[in-house]
Amino acid sequence: MDAGMRVQLFLVVILFAACHTDVPMSSSASELPRISVTSDGGITGRGVGGIVIDGGQVTATLQQKSCSGTLTNSERSKLQALIPIRDSNAEGHGHPDQIRYTLTVGDRTATWYGEDAPKECAPLFQLLWQIRQRVIATC
User: What's the distance, CA 127 to chain centroid?
Assistant: 9
Based on DSSP, count helices (H) and strands (E) in the chain, helices before strands. 3, 6
Distance from C-alpha of 107 to C-alpha of 85, rounded to nearest angstrom: 10
The domain locations on the chain are 26-137
List of the chain residues with pLDDT < 70: 1-30
Whole-number pLDDT of residue 6: 52
Smallest CA-to-CA distance from 88 within 100, 102, 76, 75 is with: 102
Query: What digits encode the pLDDT tens for the residues 43-52?
Result: 888 899 999 9
Query: Tell me, what's the pLDDT at 14?
Result: 45
pLDDT at 1: 61
pLDDT of residue 44: 85
Q: How far apart are CA 98 and CA 94, in angstroms?
A: 6
d(CA 46, CA 40): 5
